[in-house]
With several copies, the nearest count.
Chain A
Amino acid sequence: MNPSQSLAGAPSAPAKKTPVRSGISRDTLLVIAVTLAGFGIWELAVRWLQVPQFILPSPMAIAARVAQDFTSGLIFPHFLQTLVEVLAGFLLATVIGVGLGTLVALVRTVERVVYPFVLALQTVPKVAVAPLFIIWFGFGIEPKIVTAAVIAFFPILVNVIAGLKATDPRRLLLMRALKAGRWTTFCKVQLPGMLPYLFAGLEVGIIFAVIGAIVGEFIGASLGLGSLVIQRQAGVDVAGVFSVLFYLSFMGVALNLALRWVARRWVFWERPTDAVSA
């Protein structure tokens, strides 16, 4: 068998990214085009198939509500409330996730003893333990922050653990050779090394913090996008619900993009260089 023959038909090298500069405008255009096309099809489908508004409102109807919620100013206090809950919850989740994840990854006993409990707690639906949350954390913003944190911290934790375990052992050897303390080793080797994992976890975490805040508001709130969803749902105001969902998505995407921007700056060394991607 002649390998060159078998190779002849093989496709060429794996696709490589085009430089960022030339990419932005084309891709942005594409996003816009896809979005418009999607909404167009949706609009037409809703009209032609006469889908009732309560099953799926038309994009136009939703857009109108989105605009109205904006101009009437109604959305802002709700948006702000939820945003505060999300950010506080995310911060808490990050601190706990990184802290606990580090302990779990570095101390075997903690892993074996604590991790099963973390897991067990994780599967518990937060709405089911709402009474405890309310009793422990009151009726203010706290239980919402806690719900957000509890839901967001798990993906962060898991990624921190995975990232720390993937540390190149030779780098640890070097630190041992330098008689570096545990803490120094952690700061200088393991922490930077796990950043790619950590950011993957944070990216999920921030999105889950949004969901968590909403779930927290479902337990009972008079302010916040989640409470608005409930009120509008009760009124079968589906276009209204979609308008809130739009603002929620906006929040999630914006926070996620901000995070990815930070990630790109902090994990700069993982960007493929020209040498390999040319």
Chain B
Amino acid sequence: ADKLVVQAGVPAPNTNAIAIYVAKQACLFRDEGLQVDLQYTSGAPLATQLVAGDKADIALVSYEPYLLGYDKGIRGKFFYQAFDRLIYFIGVPVDSDIKSIADLKGRKIGVSNMGSATVIVGKSMLRSAGLEPVDSAFLPVGIGDSALAALRGNQVQAVALWDAAFAGLERSGAKFRYLYHPEIADFGNGGYFASDKTLASKRDQLERFSRALAKANLFMLANPQQTLEMYWRANPAGKSGLDAASANEKGMAEIRFKSPYFERKKDDTFGRLDEVLYEKYQKMMKEEGSLATLVPVKSFMDGSLLPAANRFDRDAVMQKARAWTGSEVCN
């Protein structure tokens, strides 16, 4: 089997890479003649750097590091989009009097840190509602418990985070009302990335890799319960601390939270790269002053693998998924 190294933009197993876990354990990579190693990094920028420097084959990352790193020499292309919508949005407590972006006037928004892309998106959202997007509207509060504490202590009245971070907060019992960017909320700003060199030399492997991912997406839609089991096998820490029933309930909620993508676009092309929204998105980043030079879409995306990636017997995969008991798994 051909070996591929995938670099995740997160420091430890998490739901972001769930398609990889599924493709591995359901033997979808094996069926495509691939052996995939998943490695973790402290963040998307590091994963992007490593892949652009050919230290690994594929990165599973959000788009911002590439865009921001373009004028520092980062090259390569995203060939498969993994997210279905902008992972950055704003959450306010469900009982908050903030109902719209405009209500954020004069309020403080918590962000993980001032370097986070959530600041960019948050500013853009403020601007869209005619509010002044000043730095002082944001306060770094970290993620998780400290963010919750900031909300509870009223140091901030809203938090701008990303999907997985909100999923974590929700898992701990907090309830949010979410505010999305009015124009680009549907842009799935993350995917699989490879250097131009890899794209040229391992084109065939990347195509098979993409196909396995597409099959995995379908598999997840067909059998969420087994998807959760696979996730737990890859990340035993994901379920610990709870009795079986509530673990299952929370786990399914998280899977659902993470994968509306697959439900909404099940009839669409898996991994489709959205050029129109991409242009909007990077314009927004430039407008907020974080992006110096625009990156032409041709330098950013390469959708040429997708047709072949989506060419497979969907019913067979659905069947396999439904019949999956987890008694035998690939590694």
Whether a CB of chain B sits under 8 angstroms from the CB of A43 is no
Whether a CB of chain A sits under 8 angstroms from the CB of B48 is yes
* Chain A residues within 8 Å of chain B by Cβ, number: 37
- B42 with A236: CB separation less than 8 A: no
Interface of B is mostly: mixed
- B43 with A233: CB separation less than 8 A: yes
For B165, the closest partner residue in chain A by CB is A234
B62-78 contacts to A, CB under 8 A, are 64-66, 68-69, 72-74
A206-248 contacts to B, CB under 8 A, are 217-222, 227-228, 230-240
- A220 with B39: CB separation less than 8 A: yes
- B113 with A69: CB separation less than 8 A: no
A177-225 contacts to B, CB under 8 A, are 217-222
CB distance from B288 to the nearest CB of A (A): 13
9-residue interface stretch from A15-23, A27-35, A50-58, A257-265: A50-58
CB distance from A47 to the nearest CB of B (A): 14
CB-CB < 8 A to A55: which residues of B?
49-50, 53, 55, 145, 148-149
For A52, the closest partner residue in chain B by CB is B53
- B13 with A68: CB separation less than 8 A: no
- A134 with B115: CB separation less than 8 A: no
For B150, the closest partner residue in chain A by CB is A139
- A236 with B144: CB separation less than 8 A: yes
For B170, the closest partner residue in chain A by CB is A236
Whether a CB of chain A sits under 8 angstroms from the CB of B112 is yes
CB distance from A211 to the nearest CB of B (A): 16
Whether a CB of chain A sits under 8 angstroms from the CB of B236 is yes
- Beyond A139-B150, A236-B48, is A54–B145 a contact (Cβ under 8 Å)? yes
9-residue interface stretch from B98-106, B133-141, B186-194, B212-220: B133-141
Q: How distant is the Cα of A135 from the Cα of B241 in the complex, in angstroms? A: 23
- Beyond A54-B148, A231-B235, A233-B144, is A240–B240 a contact (Cβ under 8 Å)? yes
CB-CB < 8 A to B149: which residues of A?
54-55, 131, 134-135
Whether a CB of chain A sits under 8 angstroms from the CB of B46 is yes
- B72 with A227: CB separation less than 8 A: no
Whether a CB of chain A sits under 8 angstroms from the CB of B128 is no
CB distance from A54 to the nearest CB of B (A): 4
CB-CB < 8 A to B14: which residues of A?
231, 234
CB distance from A29 to the nearest CB of B (A): 33
Q: Per-residue CB proximity of B97-136 to A under 8 Å, as 1/0?
A: 0000000000000001111110000000000000000010
Whether a CB of chain B sits under 8 angstroms from the CB of A162 is no
- B114 with A218: CB separation less than 8 A: no
Q: How distant is the Cα of A74 from the Cα of B64 in the complex, in angstroms? A: 23
CB distance from B51 to the nearest CB of A (A): 11
CB distance from A251 to the nearest CB of B (A): 18
B228-273 contacts to A, CB under 8 A, are 235-238, 240-241
CB-CB < 8 A to B48: which residues of A?
236
- A220 with B152: CB separation less than 8 A: no
- Beyond A52-B73, A237-B241, A238-B72, is A227–B39 a contact (Cβ under 8 Å)? no
CB-CB < 8 A to A51: which residues of B?
53
Interface residue from A69, A132, A218 paired with B145 (Cβ < 8 Å):
A132
- A234 with B42: CB separation less than 8 A: no
- B53 with A134: CB separation less than 8 A: no
- B74 with A222: CB separation less than 8 A: no
- A135 with B72: CB separation less than 8 A: no
Whether a CB of chain B sits under 8 angstroms from the CB of A127 is yes
Q: How distant is the Cα of A138 from the Cα of B174 in the complex, in angstroms? A: 21
Whether a CB of chain A sits under 8 angstroms from the CB of B40 is yes
- Beyond A230-B114, A235-B172, is A131–B144 a contact (Cβ under 8 Å)? yes
For B153, the closest partner residue in chain A by CB is A135
Whether a CB of chain A sits under 8 angstroms from the CB of B277 is no
- B13 with A54: CB separation less than 8 A: no
Q: How distant is the Cα of A52 from the Cα of B144 in the complex, in angstroms? A: 13
For A133, the closest partner residue in chain B by CB is B146
Whether a CB of chain B sits under 8 angstroms from the CB of A123 is no
Whether a CB of chain A sits under 8 angstroms from the CB of B142 is yes
- A236 with B113: CB separation less than 8 A: no
**Residue from the set A55, A132, A218, A222 with the largest chain B CB neighbour count within 10 Å:** A222
- B73 with A222: CB separation less than 8 A: no
Whether a CB of chain A sits under 8 angstroms from the CB of B52 is yes
For A139, the closest partner residue in chain B by CB is B39
- A220 with B42: CB separation less than 8 A: yes
For B141, the closest partner residue in chain A by CB is A220
Interface CB pairs A-B, < 8 A, 21:
A53-B73, A54-B73, A55-B55, A55-B149, A74-B236, A130-B41, A131-B46, A131-B146, A131-B149, A134-B41, A134-B141, A135-B55, A219-B140, A221-B12, A221-B114, A227-B40, A227-B114, A231-B115, A233-B143, A233-B144, A234-B65
Interface, chain B (partner A; CB < 8 A): 11-14, 38-43, 45-46, 48-50, 52-53, 55, 64-66, 68-69, 72-74, 112-117, 135, 138-146, 148-150, 152, 155, 164-165, 168-169, 171-172, 174, 235-238, 240-241, 290
For the complex with contacts A221-B11, A233-B144, 17 further pairs of A-B residues with Cβ separation under 8 Å are: A53-B72, A53-B73, A65-B240, A68-B240, A131-B146, A134-B50, A139-B155, A220-B12, A220-B146, A227-B113, A227-B114, A227-B140, A232-B237, A234-B14, A235-B68, A237-B72, A237-B240
Interface, chain A (partner B; CB < 8 A): 51-55, 65, 68-69, 72, 74, 127, 130-132, 134-135, 138-139, 217-222, 227-228, 230-240
